[in-house]
Amino acid sequence: MLAVNYSTIRKNLKSYCDRVTDENETVIVTRKDEKNVVLISLEEWNELQRIVRNAEYLGKLDRAYSELSAGKGVTKTIEELEAMADE
C-alpha cells in the first residue's frame, strides 16, 4: 500500500495506475483536510462489492433463521403456494 500526495499522483497518474493494475498495488491519495481517496483496480473493486453482497445475503439468512427459530415462520402447502402464484 502506498500513500502519495495529490500533486505527485497528478504528475505521475499513468505510472500509479499501472502499479495498481499490473502489481495489484493500493494507492492512498492524500489530500488537504484528510479528504483522502483510494485508488484500486477494477478487479479489486468488484471483489469488494461481491464480498459486501455476500455479507448482506448472509445477514438476511441469519435474520430468517432467527425468526424461524423464534416460531415466526409460516407454513404453506403446495396448493396454497400455487393459489398465491395465480393471484
Question: Contact, 28 vs 45, CB < 8 A?
Answer: no
> Does 17 share its domain with 45?
no
> Does 60 share its domain with 36?
no
pLDDT 10s digits, 11-48: 999 999 999 999 999 999 999 998 999 999 999 999 99
Place of cell 393459489: 83
Question: What is the CATH classification number for the domain harbouring 17?
Answer: 3.40.1620.10
> Does 45 share its domain with 71?
yes
Arithmetic mean of pLDDT over the chain:
95
Domain that holds residue 55: 41-87
Domain count of the chain? 2
Question: Contact, 37 vs 26, CB < 8 A?
Answer: no
Residue-wise over 23-49: b if at least 16 C-beta within 10 A, else e? eebebebeeeeeeeeebebeeeeeeee
> Does 12 share its domain with 29?
yes
> Does 67 share its domain with 46?
yes
> Does 48 share its domain with 75?
yes
pLDDT 10s digits, 40-79: 999 999 999 999 999 999 999 999 999 999 999 888 999 9
Dihedral of the CA atoms 50, 37, 18, 23 (nearest 10)?
-60
